[in-house]
Amino acid sequence: MIRTEKLCKYYSIHSRHEVHAIRDINLNISKNTFVVFNGPSGSGKTTLLNIIGALDRPTEGKVFIYDEEITSFSDIGLSRLRREKIGFIFQNFHLIPRLSSWENVSYPLIPLGISFRERFQMAKLLLEKVGLGDRLDHAPEELSGGQQQRVAIARALVNNPEIIIADEPTSNIDDETSEHLLELLKELQTDGVTILVATHDAGFEKIADEIYKIKNGRLE
């Protein structure tokens, strides 16, 4: 379902020194698998997930989703892909300040023409699912790190994605909550969702179908 070919991302700093964030990544992930990426800080996990999640373009190489080469998609095509197939949970949440939890969760639905009432219902359901049913009207500034994380998770689920990509989803939450998140993701997998997680959390490795180790931008 997700396939990468010789994926590379270079960053040039001061136009000379190139940082090879990832290089020659070849992946083949089938539908409905639970994949974990593991590696030290700076090894390129975020870079890889951003590219697979259609948030960034690689310097070289190709990404295929359902045998479609998304790396050749236009801006519109990528937006559509993100809207229809991918739910992304960022390492640092990226919630919109001053908007309440439910507004943040339902924000992706606004351009779909879904009514206020429906949006609220959908957001409420998801927030209850992540255990934030009593924090619907709180802005990110009024939530703890772990709670913000959960709002971000609820937002990633709001478009019923087929692929969920989570970048260190448990780095800000305690063991109990991360246990809860693990269950939630497992549950989604049984619903047919493909899950990609970058993490140091050993708990994930136990339930993962596939584990990839990344070091210095390469798969080991």
Ligand X SMILES: Nc1ncnc2c1ncn2[C@@H]1O[C@H](COP(=O)(O)OP(=O)(O)OP(=O)(O)O)[C@@H](O)[C@H]1O
149 binds ligand X (CB under 6 A): no
Q: How far is CA 51 from CA 161, 171, 190, in A?
A: 17, 21, 25
147 binds ligand X (CB under 6 A): no
Number of C-beta neighbours around residue 48 at 10 A: 30
What residues contact 7, with CB distance under 8 A and at least 6 apart?
A: 22, 24, 25, 26, 27, 48, 51, 58, 60, 61, 62, 63
96 binds another protein (CB under 8 A): yes
* Binding site partner of 211, from ligand X, Mg ion, another protein, none, Cβ cut-off 5-8 A by kind: none
DSSP state of 195: E
44 binds ligand X (CB under 6 A): yes
Q: Which of 4, 25, 44, 88 binds another protein (CB under 8 A)?
A: 88
* Binding site partner of 159, from Mg ion, ligand X, another protein, none, Cβ cut-off 5-8 A by kind: another protein
Burial 146-169 (b: 16+ CB within 10 A, else e): bbbbbbbbbbbbbbebbbbbbbbb
117 binds another protein (CB under 8 A): no
42 binds ligand X (CB under 6 A): yes
Shortest Å, Cβ 155 to another protein: 7
Q: Which of 42, 110, 142, 215 binds another protein (CB under 8 A)?
A: 110
The mark string for 53-82 relative to Mg ion (x by CB under 5 A, - otherwise) is: ------------------------------
Alpha-carbon span 163 to 64, nearest angstrom: 13
Q: What separation, in Å, do the N-terminal and C-terminal C-alpha atoms of the chain show?
A: 21
Task: Note the residues at the interface with Mg ion (CB under 5 A).
Answer: 45-46, 91
Task: Note the residues at the interface with ligand X (CB under 6 A).
Answer: 11, 13, 19, 21, 39, 41-47, 91
